[in-house]
Structure 1
Amino acid sequence: MKSIRRTLSLITIITCVISMTACSKGDATSNNGISGADTGKFASGMTDLIDSLVENDQYDESQKRVLRAALQHDGEIPYASYSAAWESYRQCLVDKGYTKPPQNLINGIYFAPAYVSSEGLTEEQNRKLNDDINACRDARVAAIDLVYRTKLGNPEFYGDPEVALVDCLHRKNLVPQNYTIDQYRKESGLYMNDTSEHAFDRFSFDINDSDTLTCMATTAPTLLQPRLEIWKPLG
């Protein structure tokens, strides 16, 4: 599993909410096992988040129409609109001359290409590929994806993905009340250093539980990268 990570170019998955907007520092809280963690939030609420995205010129009008409609429904984006945005993103890359990226989908949540084969690409072509991925992502799906994932898995708008994940696990009663972010970080460290097929067993929660997968996919999707299909942009 880890050997794949070493040999393939890693393309950052959408949903690093910290990079989308500045996070403010928050006071530590004892709720949901996140005492002592950075509980800064990247938005004060769903209206604040959507307004900031609608005002951003990097997102095209097709995304903004969906977001404006979501404002009337407390940030709720229909799955059909979410899915259509992802299909538009994939088609955007096809229009730029690449093969269609695999439809990586885990528990109903879409993922951008995480593992991209650089076979046959020159250094210049690889740079252009990264630029094209970013351009298609921003124009077609990034804003919709952020709102959709936030609504599902991070209603407190935590800027730290680890804090958001532990909070989600607690809200869905997937871990004991005494499960802390320090324990999660310890388990995550063991997982990252485990090269076996049973690396996910390092976590004390059920990695295959449907609610667990939703929490991970919406708040800390990099943990699920090994389950994604490799994209070969040149075929």
Structure 2
Amino acid sequence: MKSRRTGAIIVAFLLSCATVLVLSACASSLDSESGTSSSTAEKSAKSSKKGEGSKLAASIGEYADSILSRGQTSDFQTEILKRTVQEGSMPAGDYENSWSMFKRCMSDKGFPELSYNKTDNGIYDIFVNSEKTPNLTGGLYDNAYSFCILDYFSDVADVYEKQVGNPKLYSVPEEAAVDCLHHMNLVPKNYTLEDFNNEVKGSKGSSFDIKNNAVQECLVPNGIYLLDARK
């Protein structure tokens, strides 16, 4: 399995380095030459119990509230998450507005050309493209990215991506992806989480077409990347 995050992008990488949180190891550095993503889905606060069937929360509103309870969300994103708690869901408009603010922040810091893909169900997958972003040295991009993502997009993206790609809020992203694949009739009825893990770790192909846009709608929101981001 090729995980490009990250939130994004990687968000878990940048978040851990920027705020000294133990969400991921800083040794997992961004690979600018291979199009490593900076997506945010891997950044989520996961349940301590990660067994099959375990949940992050009982609802999207409750999940958003759990993020707010950490006390680390920016003022801009806090207002969005508070509305999500009150209304029980996050409208696409809030996600898009948060994305626009993130892009504006990056542009203001000298990086107007972001590289990203967008799934058909509206999820942004940011990745590093050294051809479009040549001034990656000296930590300038990482510093700008960390500041902008934490101020405008990381927590909003976390919640919205769960809402879109993992509405049952499974603690294990792969389980959420398999549930989505079943829901969209993209795999056989007897297809299991074990089947999925065996296929993505192996080299014999999979039971589904990874180039299918509908498949990507199940994988990308859950931080699972089986395609080169640049293609």
User: 1:185 and 1:103, CA in 2 relative to 1: closer, same or farther beyond 3 A?
Assistant: closer
Give the secondary structure class of the aligned counterpart of 1:146: helix
User: 1:44 and 1:24, CA in 2 relative to 1: closer, same or farther beyond 3 A?
Assistant: farther
Give the secondary structure class of the aligned counterpart of 2:177: helix
Pairing partner for 1:53 from 67, 72, 91: 67
Shift of 1:11: 4.4
Per the alignment, residue 106 of structure 2 pairs with: 93
User: 1:12 and 1:86, CA in 2 relative to 1: closer, same or farther beyond 3 A?
Assistant: same
CA distance in 1, matches of 2:185, 2:87: 26
Pairing partner for 1:219 from 198, 218, 222: 222
CA distance in 2, matches of 1:169, 1:144: 24
CA distance in 2, matches of 1:177, 1:86: 36
CA distance in 2, matches of 1:228, 1:87: 21
Q: What does 1:188-207 correspond to in 2, within 5 Å?
A: 188-190=200-202, 202-207=205-210
Shift of 1:206: 3.5
Give the secondary structure class of the aligned counterpart of 1:222: coil
- Is 1:78 aligned to 2:121, yes or no? no
CA distance in 2, matches of 1:185, 1:26: 15
Maintained 8 Å contact 2:33/2:129: no
Letter in 2 for 1:204: S
TM-score of the two chains, using structure 1 as the length reference: 0.72
**Structure 1 residue ranges without an equivalent (≥5):** 28-37, 195-201, 230-235
Per the alignment, residue 39 of structure 2 pairs with: 13
How many pairs were matched up? 200
Maintained 8 Å contact 2:77/2:155: yes
Maintained 8 Å contact 2:114/2:126: yes
Shift of 1:155: 1.9
CA distance in 2, matches of 1:148, 1:22: 15
TM-score of the two chains, using structure 2 as the length reference: 0.73
User: 1:110 and 1:47, CA in 2 relative to 1: closer, same or farther beyond 3 A?
Assistant: closer
**What root-mean-square deviation, in Å, do the aligned CA atoms of Structure 1 and Structure 2 show?**
2.8
1:58-90: per-residue Cα shift (whole Å, max 9, x none)?
322222222222233322x22222111111111
The structure whose residues are more often helix, as a share, is 1
**Structure 2 residue ranges without an equivalent (≥5):** 3-30
CA distance in 2, matches of 1:206, 1:121: 34
Per the alignment, residue 110 of structure 1 pairs with: 123
User: 1:115 and 1:172, CA in 2 relative to 1: closer, same or farther beyond 3 A?
Assistant: same
Fraction of identical pairs, as percent: 26
Pairing partner for 1:145 from 157, 160, 164: 157
